[in-house]
Structure 1
Amino acid sequence: MKRFIIFIALCFVFTITGYTQQKTYCNPINIDYGYTPFKSFSSQGKHRATADPVIVNFKEKLFLFSTNQEGYWWSDDMLNWKFVYRKFLLDDTYTHDLNAPAAWAMKDTLYVYGSTWKSDFPIWKSTNPTVDDWEIALDTLKVGAWDPAFHYEEEKDKLYLYWGSSNVWPILGTEINTKTMQSEGYTVPIVRLFPEDHGWERFGEYNDNVFLQPFIEGAWMTKHNGKYYMQYGAPATEFSGYADGVYVSKDPLDRFEYQQHNPFSYKPGGFARGAGHGATFQDNFDNYWHVSTIFISTKNNFERRLGIWPAGFDADDVMYCNTAYGDYPTLLPEFAKGKDFSKGLFTGWMLLNYQKPVQVSSTLGGYQANFAVDEDIKTYWSAKSGDKGEWFQTDLGDVSTIHAIQINYADQDVEFLGKTVGKCHQYIIYGSNDGKKWQVIVDKSKNDTDVPHDYIEFEKPVKARYIKMENGHMPTGKFALSGFRVFGKGNGTKPNTVENFTVLRSSPKKYGERRSIWFKWQQNQLADGYVIYWGKSPDKLYGSIMVYGKNEYFFTGADRTDAYYFQIEAFNANGMSERSTIVKSE
């Protein structure tokens, strides 16, 4: 009888919270990001930070390494990531552990190497990396490397190293002897930036800041159909336009040519912005994904997070990465089998509470409540304390069908530097149709994990107009939210097709700045925002830009000599409009 009562109680808990095997995830990915280890980076407040990610599929498990985390994560499903605490630098007094790390699989072994100019970082190896079981493969890599990337070809037993992070020097490459694990001494330049031709490579938030030359960094190599795809990040990590481009060659160390469709990984708009300095990997179903850096850059230029986007190669071997609605609910690998990744894996669950009315328990200074629903990761609301009972409430405007909620915590008055373990967030989320009678829809009052970008997908959609989150426990600091995001289906009307979409660009026969293009369109009264699709062929509109609230956008990422094609669609809580007619810009 006792067992039966326990079973009934558990069924009730799972019913009201809707927990089940999730089919989706939402960027920024929800991992227990460590805090910056540097006091010098914390003058405006201590904060979480990582960047420069690498994901390697090793023995059908995904291993994620990134900057300054004193360890790494692994996952079976790309949703649930398990952290392994490990310091790879032998000198414990130095706070830079893995910085812009390299990771690669070679035969039955996983290898890891961190950035260094001093040749003081060993190459580590493990055949069992789901636990802290590593040994040194090489004491000193003589060539040294900052932002290193290793590419191994099993069929040829060839290993190549690429590296560089500079606004002066190009990315370099060399072959590594697989027996000695050293370079044979022959080093060649691979790619460099041409900002005078490629608008997206120019320095600055809007690619218009001329006081500093842009940085090339974040090398990564992928081989596909006999071709080598050298990926690189530009122009700098602290900007929304941080992106990855790609050069292609049939030789791993020579004759690389700029892919016409560039940057291939780009996300300058929306909540989670930036898609640069990343790595491309395959899941267990042979589909490609691209992991990269998302910027916040509020408390420090190097305050960043990570995102994962569907990627791949089309029938013409063009490398692409789909970031359209890339910070909305997206299908996980197991549920994306057979899908066309070039068209994205967005579920169609819309954001229900963009700029909707909010109420809160308290407000600290100028960290106003509406900052939690303005779709800007750089702004946030903060309560006056981190105490249990502080709360945030959002009004969807009408009873809506809710499929998922993403909770993006912000760092306000936190106390930690470096990696912390054993910390947790605890909270309860209530739903109501009238703002008076409330029902628990998510209960994480006993959660024991650190979830700075928690994402909950409901087994059965929840019907509610009002959503209220009540704080139970914070790992540190105040109860603060940069984005409380409710996804699902509204009951209203979706926008009509955008009218009068106009593309303004200097003529190729006249003097003018052709790397910049101005879009204008008629404001759609039902729209929350718009997505502009772009490319250099009408059938390859792989680029996208999300714009909230405005009816214009100044695109500064064009290549000077090439023609472009553009389309636009409007969206709101109820869905997306039909796309406009494609517009060509010579």
Structure 2
Amino acid sequence: MKLIHLLTSLFFCTTISLAQSPQLNIAKPKPFKQKTFCNPMDINYQYNWEQTNEKISYRSGADPVIITHKNEYYLFHTIQGGYWKSKDLLNWHYIIPNRWPMEDMCAPAAISVRDTLYLFQSTFQQRPIFYTTTPENGKLHFYNRWLPQLPKDIGPWDPALFHDDATDRWFMYWGSSNVYPLFGAELDKSKNLTYKGKNDYKGLIYLHPEKHGWERFGRDHRDTIKPFTEGAWMTKHNGKYYLQYGAPGTEFNVYANGTYVGDDPLGPFTYAPYNPVSYKPGGFMTGMGHGNTFQDLYGNYWNTGTPWIAVNWNFERRIEMVPAGFDKDGQMYANTRFADFPQLLPTKKWTDKNELFAGLMLLSYKKPCTSSSVQEGKFSANLVTDENPRTFWVAKTNKSGETLTIDLEKTQEVHSLQINYTDYKSDIYDSALPKVYIQYRVYSSIDGKAWIKIVDNTNEKRDRPNAYEELAKPVKVRYIKFENVHVPMPNLAISDIRIFGKGTGKAPVIPQGLTVTRQTDDRNADISWQKVPEAVGYNILWGIAPDKLYQTYQIWNDAPSNLELRALTVGQKYYFAIEAFNENGVSAVSEVIGPK
């Protein structure tokens, strides 16, 4: 017993000594720090109800405003019951304020000036401007009680607040109509930012679809309905004032942001010949209209917008943000090239508009899928790889254990994935309910028999309808299997599971035979090219100079190798190029040509 006691004592003392010895401390592994994000934004979009049938609900994000305030980011958008804050543009914390301005906010205006954040809602009545110096705790206060009411139908709907640092003048811009223009007015800072006079406002921007092809209504600008202008935003850069606006309509792939430029906050303004500024008519998430422009903590510009979903309601949307900026000539641009592929989170001032593209390619396009069950034939499993948010797989039940497996058809290096849920016949009206969260597991396999778990979020209860998961380490696999654990919706429905990484082959060659012919209607151009073997898709690039190809139209390889581009401005000269991409990378850009 004495020997056992002695050995036990020696072991105990040795253990204490080892634990206290600085030379033998074992370093804990550093926690994984995500480096990329993927559009649409991965946040807990709140529920609304379909306006013509109150038995149907949907998550939605629309009319976003992101601002920086005290070295943090704040996100506001339509009818969300609150707002979000973030330190890194990746992890967003939802905040429920102590009060909203009379009712929940639609298309809010937000601005940070010195130590104060100001907030104002869309209205056709009298509403107050709120303020807070501590937005992180949700405490809002009245800055003024009532702005004077404007004449009937004038607004201010879809407002934007602007403070000119150089002159200490305040302004408001607003408008959402296919009848009225965008308006602007100077606010009287000596009277708590009220209008200087009830009629002291002016029309600033009207749409001219007869000249500006991108302002025409409808899918690919093919409708004759009078277009809508909305979503005003003001950015000052190098002494110029860029008054931005959204057009031609929310519910189309061509919803975009444009700009007029002036020397004074109230104009006169000149139409920018390079419009639209932010345009994304092709790819997974289409549409970039009605957003805002902000600078991150490193001074980089970003543009936000609202791509279109439209499953339970025609105006069901999400939020995207893309790198933006101004070139040496003062031309404003937003880079939508690969906008819904993984992008690097900013860590410094970038010098090239494409350097945030992470180089991770889409590995899942049109790959075969199998599922544990299917509710109906029209909701087949193969729809989760078609890159269309309006088609979706629906399982027979929403219970734990339902699975869907994607066959990449060969071994690939997977870096990340995105799971996009669909609110098919949803019946949730309160996002704060305890049941409103999503949990899942993801497995990988080389042979479809032995499975390794690579993602498991069952230790958290968050609502993530567009969940993006970056893996701590890439995995080489052929099969990816999704397993449902919990969804709050009555139906387990998924529009797309998007898998990103690096293929093992070669990038495609440069597409040949690019031709562009301007039509008699100068707003349109016919574009054609020769298909590239094993390409997944193409990016048509164009702009107003050979070194200003800021616009992108993404086309899948299984679509025809021609495009009628209907977004051009009458009398404006353009230049065009094309690149191909596949699972292994992107080709070089073709020779830049002008239209015939």
User: Which bin holds the TM-score, normalised by the shorter protein?
Assistant: over 0.9
- Checking the alignment, whether the CA contact within 8 Å between 2:99 and 2:139 is kept in structure 1 is no
Residues 1:105 and 2:112 are matched in the alignment: yes
**521-530 or 320-329, larger mean C-alpha shift:** 521-530
Amino acid at match of 2:566: T
Residues 1:382 and 2:390 are matched in the alignment: no
Amino acid at match of 1:196: E
Amino acid at match of 1:374: D
What SS is found at the alignment partner of 1:295? Answer: coil
Residue in structure 1 matched with residue 39 of structure 2 by the alignment? 27
Query: Normalising to structure 2: TM-score of the pair?
Result: 0.91
**What CA deviation, in whole Å up to 9, does each residue of 1:125-163 have, x standing for no partner?**
100001111111111111451000010123322100001
- Checking the alignment, whether the CA contact within 8 Å between 1:311 and 1:341 is kept in structure 2 is no
Distance 1:179 1:71 in 2: 30
Distance 2:98 2:375 in 1: 37
Residue in structure 1 matched with residue 160 of structure 2 by the alignment? 149
Distance 2:274 2:381 in 1: 40
Equivalence map 1:381-400=2 (5 Å): 381-400=393-412
**What CA deviation, in whole Å up to 9, does each residue of 1:439-458 have, x standing for no partner?**
11111122211111111112
Q: Detail structure 1 runs of 4+ shifted over 6 Å in the superposition.
A: 1-4
**289-298 or 212-221, larger mean C-alpha shift:** 289-298
Query: Normalising to structure 1: TM-score of the pair?
Result: 0.92
What SS is found at the alignment partner of 1:206? Answer: helix
1:82 alignment partner, one of 93, 105, 111? 93
**135-144 or 56-65, larger mean C-alpha shift:** 135-144
**81-90 or 537-546, larger mean C-alpha shift:** 81-90
- Checking the alignment, whether the CA contact within 8 Å between 2:99 and 2:140 is kept in structure 1 is no
Distance 1:182 1:421 in 2: 38
**What CA deviation, in whole Å up to 9, does each residue of 1:223-276 have, x standing for no partner?**
000010000000000000000000111111021111121101000110011111
Residue in structure 1 matched with residue 52 of structure 2 by the alignment? 40
**What CA deviation, in whole Å up to 9, does each residue of 1:166-188 have, x standing for no partner?**
10111111100113111112211
**What CA deviation, in whole Å up to 9, does each residue of 1:20-72 have, x standing for no partner?**
111110000011001114542657x4211120011111111111000010110
How many pairs does the alignment contain? Answer: 561
Judging changes above 3 Å, is the alpha-carbon distance between structure 1 residues 155 and 284 closer, same or farther for their aligned structure 2 residues?
A: same
Distance 1:420 1:359 in 2: 34
What SS is found at the alignment partner of 1:47? Answer: strand
Using the TM superposition, give the Cα deviation of residue 405 of structure 1 relative to its aligned residue in structure 2, in angstroms.
0.8
Using the TM superposition, give the Cα deviation of residue 418 of structure 1 relative to its aligned residue in structure 2, in angstroms.
4.9
Q: Which has the higher contact order (CA 8 A, sep 6+)?
A: 1
Residue in structure 1 matched with residue 5 of structure 2 by the alignment? none
Judging changes above 3 Å, is the alpha-carbon distance between structure 1 residues 42 and 535 closer, same or farther for their aligned structure 2 residues?
A: farther
Residue in structure 1 matched with residue 579 of structure 2 by the alignment? 569
Gaps of 5+ in 2: 1-11, 19-27
1:326 alignment partner, one of 339, 354, 371? 339
- Checking the alignment, whether the CA contact within 8 Å between 1:19 and 1:458 is kept in structure 2 is no
**What CA deviation, in whole Å up to 9, does each residue of 1:338-393 have, x standing for no partner?**
43342352111000010011111111211121111001112111111110000111
Equivalence map 1:212-231=2 (5 Å): 212-231=225-244
- Checking the alignment, whether the CA contact within 8 Å between 2:542 and 2:576 is kept in structure 1 is yes
**What CA deviation, in whole Å up to 9, does each residue of 1:388-409 have, x standing for no partner?**
0001110111111111111111
1:187 alignment partner, one of 198, 201, 220? 201
Distance 1:140 1:582 in 2: 55
- Checking the alignment, whether the CA contact within 8 Å between 1:38 and 1:417 is kept in structure 2 is no
Using the TM superposition, give the Cα deviation of residue 519 of structure 1 relative to its aligned residue in structure 2, in angstroms.
1.4
Distance 2:207 2:180 in 1: 9
**549-558 or 231-240, larger mean C-alpha shift:** 549-558
Judging changes above 3 Å, is the alpha-carbon distance between structure 1 residues 340 and 333 closer, same or farther for their aligned structure 2 residues?
A: same
- Checking the alignment, whether the CA contact within 8 Å between 1:69 and 1:419 is kept in structure 2 is no
1:59 alignment partner, one of 48, 66, 70? 70
Amino acid at match of 1:412: Y
Distance 1:360 1:519 in 2: 39
Amino acid at match of 2:459: K
Using the TM superposition, give the Cα deviation of residue 417 of structure 1 relative to its aligned residue in structure 2, in angstroms.
2.2
Using the TM superposition, give the Cα deviation of residue 561 of structure 1 relative to its aligned residue in structure 2, in angstroms.
1.3
Residue in structure 2 matched with residue 411 of structure 1 by the alignment? 423
Residue in structure 2 matched with residue 127 of structure 1 by the alignment? 133
Using the TM superposition, give the Cα deviation of residue 478 of structure 1 relative to its aligned residue in structure 2, in angstroms.
1.8
Using the TM superposition, give the Cα deviation of residue 89 of structure 1 relative to its aligned residue in structure 2, in angstroms.
4.4
**What CA deviation, in whole Å up to 9, does each residue of 1:459-498 have, x standing for no partner?**
2211111000100000222222111011001112322111
2:172 alignment partner, one of 146, 153, 161? 161
Residue in structure 1 matched with residue 555 of structure 2 by the alignment? 547
Distance 1:566 1:200 in 2: 17
1:298 alignment partner, one of 311, 322, 333? 311
Residue in structure 1 matched with residue 353 of structure 2 by the alignment? 342
- Checking the alignment, whether the CA contact within 8 Å between 2:97 and 2:139 is kept in structure 1 is no
Distance 1:22 1:272 in 2: 22
Amino acid at match of 2:218: G
Judging changes above 3 Å, is the alpha-carbon distance between structure 1 residues 108 and 90 closer, same or farther for their aligned structure 2 residues?
A: closer
Distance 1:344 1:236 in 2: 31
Distance 1:317 1:525 in 2: 39
Using the TM superposition, give the Cα deviation of residue 88 of structure 1 relative to its aligned residue in structure 2, in angstroms.
5.0
Residue in structure 2 matched with residue 205 of structure 1 by the alignment? 219
Question: Larger C-alpha radius of gyration, 1 or 2?
Answer: 2
Residues 1:357 and 2:371 are matched in the alignment: no
Judging changes above 3 Å, is the alpha-carbon distance between structure 1 residues 299 and 124 closer, same or farther for their aligned structure 2 residues?
A: same
**212-221 or 572-581, larger mean C-alpha shift:** 572-581
1:317 alignment partner, one of 330, 348, 351? 330
Residue in structure 2 matched with residue 523 of structure 1 by the alignment? 531
Distance 1:172 1:87 in 2: 31
Judging changes above 3 Å, is the alpha-carbon distance between structure 1 residues 39 and 233 closer, same or farther for their aligned structure 2 residues?
A: closer
Equivalence map 1:451-530=2 (5 Å): 451-506=464-519, 512-530=520-538
